[in-house]
Structures are given as structure tokens and as C-alpha cells.
Structure 1
């Protein structure tokens, strides 16, 4: 960024309106949540802030409201070019003057946005970090009044994060070029290390730091052993999420394509999304997911950051995420509206093998591979825990939780721990005898066959039925032996040759074989039938509608869908599901009563009030 001819002065504070007035009249909410008020007051007063707040926690209000209170235009740095139009549409529906500058615009569109900014006719201006680094953009900003800088998705500055964007590294220069302008950086997920990296790289070490609770109590966390994962996914959708919008994450592009096709063949409206698809196809699929109800997006992790769709009812993983941080961020795309939602993961031995192989083959030095391995170990610990998953998840982010949340599978169906020391010794002994006595290495399936005494052609060919460990494990079924192997891999007592997928002993294996270490294991819990509620126990029951209210809610959704289609905006831009539910239950009789519903601000009341009341009171 080039130096300006003269440093701009700090923008003056607006006398009115107050943040609370903006919250009520523009956004239609009666009160702030959590630390929103403190964050907003800090920025309105001209201070800097670093905000860590979970998805759905109301981060955007923390910069949108100060931009409306302070003099000038709030400049939002966002990596989400594909979503800027929807973000601007949503703000304009609220009566907020918003615009964006990015590569999707033609010259006339860009010139009009630039003119509006210079004239002080924009409350918010969205820019990609790459565009902010262009000298002409910096000159443009000097020609108007900047109310604040908001750096969204601030974790993109972390060089070891999976969403790293190199241009974010230059954003620390904002304080040098525009020293009087407050800055607020926001992210939905960050470990203590990433938090420190954000503060350092964005020159926010002197800023006020706000770390909200990362708990998402409306999300039920479930991790199940893999056993025909597509069938397990389909059962979940049919039993608990029929007709719901959701995201299914897969590790590979091929798996994305196959899973999407299988869902379509089974009557689920699903679309694929990955970096290998043409950009116009990706854009069309994303638009369909955002703008229509009940669409399931099957995707790699290339999809999802910044997705504002509030009614995603489930996020499913068919492959093991690489880190707890990534898992939390991806599952956080469910239930942004606060209604009950599901985070579901199918996890198996093959996932551990695959992830270990990917780490061994990854770019970077040994320190980088150690970091990746540490991330994976934490994810495996979450998968194998016998404790409350929510408590362990929050502990990873340095936050305490008493456990017993009642909304995770380990609380609803507690796994039983057992002393797996003898079983571990048997399995490790089999690997030892193959490796040390015969200089041979084999995969899990073959080792399990040896333990269970199965005289397969391969075993007889290699004369492994002559090993002393042949048949010593016939007391456990194959599935349980695979569970033992998976848990030994997770505990670092066994490893996999990344080149061949064969089992190897580790340094720690000797402690088990030498009877110097006990090995606690968990029984994989048996699958339960559908619980008494849709994802969330009592929370779901509290959110359930009566038959009469449900019929009204569906009528309002149909009105919303038609209205959104007519205006060319996502349905949630008109009203969130939570607002429609409140309308369906409270049945406001007139515009004044409708204006008291949470989520109905002044602009939306003027624009949609008559229409929603007509739909509400239409005869059945």
C-alpha cells in the first residue's frame, strides 16, 4: 500500500442514532446478545477490536451497527467474492445502503459504486483483500470518509490454516495508512495459537480482545463408526432430516460426485461442489443452495466459508476432518438461526490410515508435518472420547464445560470403557511377529484374520497359520478387532506405512508388549433408533410447532419462497425461519403487532408487512 499525501483525520462520531436504536429499527431485534454491546461500543468510540465468536453468534452486527452509527462508510474486507452480492442484497432489504467492488462487476457497475462511495451514499462497502491491495482502491478510499475497517474471516491470515489467503498478510498495514480509523477483525474459530497469530499479523495486539463462548447448544454432535457410510447417511436424512437443507462434506472430488449422484437416485435433491467443477457450475449450485429450500450440498471443504444460510439443519462428514478447528468451523454452518440442528460424522479405520498417509506425503518441513499430526491426534481424541463431546470440543478452544450436555451421542448413548490391554497385546504381537520374525508387513484385514484363526488362501500361502498368534483372538468379532486397531492408531500405539497401508509398531508399542502400560478402550456403541426428537432433545421439543402452527408456517414459507424468487434473492434474506415460526405461533393481527416480532425491522415491515399478513390470514 502506498503512503498517502496526508494522513486522513479520524471520522467524527455521529450523534444519533444509538446502537440500540439501530438494532431495533433496522434489524428488528430488541436486545443485544452476549458481548455484542461491548464490542459495538468499543468500535463506535474509535477503538480496535479482535472478536472470536461462533458462527451464528451475531458477528456481522458487530461491524454493521458501528458503520451505521459512525460517520462515513464501513469498509468490510471479505474473501467471499461469490457471496458479496447476497450479502449486499440482504443489507439493502433492511434499508442499509451497501455495495461491493470485485472482479464480477463490469466497468459501469464499478464506477457507480465508486461514485456512491465518494458521495457518502454507502453505509457499507465490501472489498476482497486482493482488491484492497491495488493502489487505485487505496486512492479511492482516500477520496471518501471511512467509518471503520472490518476484517471478516480473520483466520485467513494464519499461514498454517486451511483457509490461508496470502493477501491477508498485508492487512496489518491498514493501521499505518489510516491510523485514525478503527479496525475490527472477526473469526468464527481460532485456537489460542491462531488467535495470537491474528493479533500479531493484523497489528491488533493493543486492541480489545473479545472471546465469546464457542458452545453451540442447538447443535447435537454425533460421531458413528463407519459401516456402509452412504447407507448410514441416507438413514439419517430419511429419519431425521427429510426435506431439510444440509451440507455433506467428503474428502475427494470423486467422492463428492458419487455421493451427490447416489442421493439424487434415492430421491434427495443434492448438488455437488468442488474446485474441479467449472466456475459457472459452482456459482449456479451455490446460488441454488442459498436461494431454495431443502437442497443438500455435497462438497469438499472448498465450500462453506461465509455461507449465511441460516436454516442449514445438518452438516454431515463422510470422511474424517483434518483438525478439530476445521471440524468446528464446518459443523458451525448448521443451525445459524439457533434452531435444533445436527453435526454428524462417520469415522473409521480407513480414515486414520488415509490421514496419516496424507501427512507423510504433505509439503512442508518436519515441523509442519508434526503440526498436522498434532491436529489429527486432537481430532482422533474427539472421535474416541468416552466423555461429553461438547466438553472436549470446547476444551480444545480453551473453554470449560461441565459435560453432560445431553445433546451429543456420548451423553445420549454413553459408550462403555473396557480394559483392552490384552487385546492390544495380541494385535501388537501379531504385527511384531510378522515384522520382526518374518520381515513381512500386512494391513489390518490380514492381521485380524490371523488373530481370528481364519485360514484364508492368503494366510495359508504365507504359512501364517503357523504363527503362535494364529487364532488367539477368536474371542472377539472382526468389527471389534477393527475397532481395537483404530483406537491403537489413534493412541499412537500403532502406525501405518503411508506408502503401502501396512501396520507398523511405534516406540510406545513396547510399553504395551512389555506390560508396562495399560490400554483403556471403548466399545463402539450400538446404533440407536431415532431419538424422541429431531437433533437436540428438549431443545427440539421446545422448537416444535403444533400441527396447526406447522401448517401456517409452511404457508408462510411458500409465500417467502415466491417473494424471494420474484426479487431474485435467497429466501432467508426475506425472513429467517425463526421469524416465520414466531409469526406462525403469535399470529399478529396488524402491522403494529407484526413489527414486534423479532427479526422484523422497519424496512422489512414496510416492504413485506402487508404480504406476510395476507399469507398468514389466508384461508386454508
Structure 2
């Protein structure tokens, strides 16, 4: 091995001509026996940064891996490349473990995979201290941080043990998901200097992000799989019940699907995992218990059937698609009740109030991401502290062809209402006051019904108002504070909107815009003099057409429909179809005749 270099091993053992971004930087720090931290996207080639140095070290590389179920797959992959590796965990018999420990003492293996819990066993750690450990690689290092999305206290317990390993081995922490706060925490825990932290960026240019709001989820998934019937993918659901129900539904529809969650027997989980890896099933329906460490390069899509509890988990899970660098897609099916479910999980969880508050904040950050109308990858990268100056051009928001309209007035109404309510209430109450609701929760605070903003947006539904508040929060005009009972606060840019210093725009379907105008018209808007003139001409045209067809005029269009035409003066097909009483059949027959009248009056 003495004449080998990282470049030659990369080619001879791994079959690659060139290193990916950041890989060689990490390897060089490891070979210099430093404490280092590598933050690289899922599929970015993190494993090579410790597997390759293992080939150059005389001693053993100890890999601390969070999932026992994946150790065999990882070791099998290394064996296939001619790299001597093994694992020790509870799935092995005592006799097999004893033999492997003897082989390790004899220098037969270059790499050893163990769980953090096994290191805590004093007799096993005594054995580890007898081995020539040159590198300790801590995979999925974010679980060491209490600010990470999957905190595991057992990882913290191994830190004091690292200092007791003879020979001062190199230490490498690896993760795909780390905010600035998590990164700083990991640096402190592992004793890593800024210059020994390699952050390659979180961008995945081959991964198209899509968010679908308030769809029929089962129907959406069924149609999506029909369109992608030969592709491999993962569908993440929030609960075991959701997983099992969707798994049974898909199999009844003829889809080769597997399922995976912690409630299944270990043997069945292992069988399902292998069936997915060997392409025996097309789709794996799973909870977040599935996927960590899965190195299946041809996953073409990841669908989130439910909204995850935080952006870090979402990012890690979508990263399992397109690991081969080919185009892949990540679809999030959003429904407001998903957020309530995640909040329920936090309420029922154990942990300190500070931990729960952190989890609530993460849920709100995820909800904001799901409701933004800005570029999705750009928003995601910004969350991880990576600022980019351009949109991706291929996410669902970038491809959104809906019209951008000025919603400043409505925004000011919402923001003013939050201020009038002393910034002391949550989204549901803010929406109810704007709607002019008279339910018991509003009457409990009788002064709310006396506010000038009470009923200010009574023409909107509570669902619509709630969605609009989510949008204002997502784009930073409002923020949420508090734990189990959060309240809305107006931000600095929200205050500028209130003062008329900023314009707020939002994408809305033209048909929705027209329908909102129609609704307002139907609620008693008076016709102006020009509207009355146009109304009379439309009635004249209707009479003419009725006589030609030998039918009563009202069978063509009612007076109410003509009145709305006179007020709204539709210019496009969408606007015409949005008017109550204009169906597709009547549109085809009469559209041109009435449109000509409107154009002449315009």
C-alpha cells in the first residue's frame, strides 16, 4: 500500500476517475490525523472520505453507524470492491463475534462497523482499546447534536470514549444535514476547527422539487405511479397506519410495493429492504425509519405523502432520489392537517420544554417552506445558510404559470388585524376575526368583535384566510412565536407593508381572480352608468340570438349573468368561464357574440 495514492485507489478500488467536490479535501485532513467535519449532500460521496483512507492506513478504521440493519449491506459493498471490512452487532451469534474479534486482533480487517450503543459496553470498549485504531468515522453525525433533527443521546456518550483510544486517531464526523447551529455544535463536540470543516454545499441540481397542495393523495399517487410505472421510488408517510393502508391499496391496484416501519418484525423489514434494493418491488412505502444509509442509486422519485416534521428530515429523505446523478423528482403532498399531526407528535413526546420548543419551531419552518411561492431549492439552501443569487428554473414554483397579482391590500388587512389583536393570538383566531366569526372562541374575547378589522374579509373562507396567512408567514411578513400555543407577530418587512412601503404579490389562477370578482359583484355591487349601458346592449344581443333560435332569452343567459359580464368585462377565455352561468357548452356557442359586444364598449 505504501506506493498507492488517493488518486490511484479511487480508480483501482472504486472505479472513478475524479473526486467529487470536497472529497479530496476531507481525505487529506483525515490522512493528516486531524479532527474533521464533512457536510456533504446525500449522494455526494461521503463514504469514500473514510473508506479510501482506510486503504492507506496501516491500522483499523472504526465506523460508528446508527443502524444495525445497514451494516451488512455496507460491508457487502466493500467486500465486492476487495476492501476487507466487517461488523459486530447483535445479529451475529456469539461464536461468529468471537471469530471476528480474533481476526481483528490478527489484522485481517481494515474496517470495523459498530453501533454507538455497543461502544458503551465496557467489555467491548476494552477490546477496542487493544486494536490499532487510526481513524474513527462517525456517520450521520447530526444525531449527536441536540439541535439536529434526529438527536440520539447515545451518540453523546461515545465522545469521552474517543479520547481514551490509544494513538490519537483521526476523527471524522459526516452528515448531509446541518444548519449553522448544528454545524457549530458538532465542531464543539468533536473538537473540529473551522478550517477543518468541509462544507460542499447542499444543492442537488438533478433533483426537481415539487409541492402539490390539497390534492386527493391516493389518487395523485396512483396516477403518478401509472406515469412512472418502470421507475423505482420511495413514498414516505407519517404513521405506521398510513404506511400499511397505502401499501395495501397500491398492491390491490397492481403496484409492486413494499412497506417498512418499526412495527414490523426485523426479518420482514430486512426482506422488504432487500426486495427494494434488488428491484423486486418498485416502490417502498415507509415511515422515516427507512432510508438512512441506503445506497440505491436508481431511485427516481421520493414522494412525501405527509409533510415531515422538519426541513432537515425532508432534505435528507429527498436526497435518496437521483444518487446516480440522473434526473429525479421529489414531490411533497401538502395538507394543513399534516402540520397538526406533527405538532401532536411533539405534544406527546418526552423531552424538555426547550427541546419541544425547538421541535415546534422546526415544524413551522417546514410549513413555511411548503407554502412559499419562491424558488424551492433556493429557499431550501437559504435555510442551511447557503445563499444563491438565482432560481433553479425547474421546481414547481419556478414553473408556476399562474398570474402574479398585487395582494398588498389583503396583506395589509391581515397584518393590521394581527396588530389590533395585540400580536397575542394564533393563526386560527386571526382568521376567525377577519372572517367575522361568532363562534365561542371569539366571543370569549368580546373586545375582538369590536375591532375595526372584525369581519374585514368576511367574503373569504376560513380555509382561504388560513392559507393566505401561511403564505405571509412563509415569505417573511409574519413570524410565529411560542410553543404549543403559538402566536403571530408582524416582522420588520411586514411593518413596511403596513406603512405602504412594500408591495406584496402572489400567484393566483386567473379563473380564481375572476371568480372572486364575480362573488363580489353578486353580493350587491351597483352598476355604473357605463355598466348599465353595456348591460342593455348585452340584453339586446341576447334577445336577438333568442329570436333566431326560437327560445326564451333567459335560456341563453340570465340577467344576473349578463350583469356580471357588464361589471367584470371579461377579456380572456378563463375570465369568461369564471362567470356564474357560463358553462362550457354555452361558452362554445355564445362566447364570440357577447365578447364582441364587450370589446366594442371597452
- Is the shorter-chain TM-score for this pair beyond 0.5, marking a shared fold? yes
**Aligned residue among 259, 262, 279 for 2:246:** 259
**Aligned residue among 364, 389, 397 for 1:410:** 397
1:310: which partner in 2? 297
Measured in 2, the distance between the counterparts of 1:138 and 1:21 equals: 34
**Aligned residue among 157, 164, 168 for 1:170:** 157
Q: What pairs with 1:92-103 in structure 2 (closer than 5 Å)?
A: 92-103=79-90
Shift of 1:90: 0.8
* Matching of residue 33 in structure 1 with residue 17 in structure 2: no
2:210: which partner in 1? 222
Cα distance change, pair 65–381 in 1 and its aligned pair in 2 (3 A): same
**Aligned residue among 8, 11, 31 for 1:24:** 11
- Unaligned regions of 5+ residues in structure 2, if any? 438-450, 512-602
Aligned residues of 2:435 and 2:457 also touching (Cα < 8 A): no
**Aligned residue among 76, 84, 90 for 1:89:** 76
Q: What pairs with 1:395-406 in structure 2 (closer than 5 Å)?
A: 395-406=382-393
What is the TM-score of this pair, normalised by structure 1?
Answer: 0.70
**Aligned residue among 354, 357, 375 for 1:370:** 357
2:471: which partner in 1? 487
Aligned residues of 1:419 and 1:520 also touching (Cα < 8 A): yes
Cα distance change, pair 390–145 in 1 and its aligned pair in 2 (3 A): same
Measured in 1, the distance between the counterparts of 2:157 and 2:85 equals: 24
Q: Which has the higher contact order (CA 8 A, sep 6+)?
A: 1
2:276: which partner in 1? 289
**Aligned residue among 167, 192, 198 for 1:204:** 192
Aligned with 1:320: secondary structure? coil
Q: What pairs with 1:277-426 in structure 2 (closer than 5 Å)?
A: 277-359=264-346, 363-413=350-400, 416-423=403-410
Measured in 2, the distance between the counterparts of 1:192 and 1:15 equals: 39
Aligned residues of 1:317 and 1:345 also touching (Cα < 8 A): yes
Aligned with 1:248: secondary structure? strand
2:62: which partner in 1? 75
2:170: which partner in 1? 182
Measured in 2, the distance between the counterparts of 1:479 and 1:185 equals: 45
Aligned residues of 2:36 and 2:196 also touching (Cα < 8 A): yes
1:463-500, Cα deviation, whole Å (9 max, x unpaired): xxxx999998686688755632543575686989999x
State which drifts further: 260-269 or 92-101: 260-269
Aligned residues of 1:493 and 1:505 also touching (Cα < 8 A): no
State which drifts further: 172-181 or 268-277: 172-181
Cα distance change, pair 24–425 in 1 and its aligned pair in 2 (3 A): closer
Aligned residues of 1:311 and 1:334 also touching (Cα < 8 A): yes
1:118: which partner in 2? 105
Question: How big is the alpha-carbon RMSD for the aligned residues of Structure 1 and Structure 2?
Answer: 4.1
Measured in 2, the distance between the counterparts of 1:521 and 1:359 equals: 34
State which drifts further: 264-273 or 423-432: 423-432
Measured in 2, the distance between the counterparts of 1:468 and 1:168 equals: 55
Aligned with 2:136: secondary structure? strand
Q: Aligned pair count?
A: 499
What is the TM-score of this pair, normalised by structure 2?
Answer: 0.72
Cα distance change, pair 237–349 in 1 and its aligned pair in 2 (3 A): same
Aligned residues of 1:360 and 1:498 also touching (Cα < 8 A): no
Measured in 2, the distance between the counterparts of 1:17 and 1:187 equals: 28
- Unaligned regions of 5+ residues in structure 1, if any? 1-13, 452-466, 528-620
Aligned residues of 2:364 and 2:480 also touching (Cα < 8 A): no
Aligned residues of 1:427 and 1:447 also touching (Cα < 8 A): no
Shift of 1:152: 0.9
Cα distance change, pair 446–486 in 1 and its aligned pair in 2 (3 A): same
Measured in 1, the distance between the counterparts of 2:241 and 2:142 equals: 28
1:241-276, Cα deviation, whole Å (9 max, x unpaired): 222221111112221111222222222212222222
1:585: which partner in 2? none
* Matching of residue 136 in structure 1 with residue 123 in structure 2: yes
Higher Cα radius of gyration: 2
Cα distance change, pair 489–390 in 1 and its aligned pair in 2 (3 A): closer
Q: What pairs with 1:555-570 in structure 2 (closer than 5 Å)?
A: none
Shift of 1:180: 2.4
1:137-158, Cα deviation, whole Å (9 max, x unpaired): 2332333322311111111101
Aligned with 1:386: secondary structure? coil
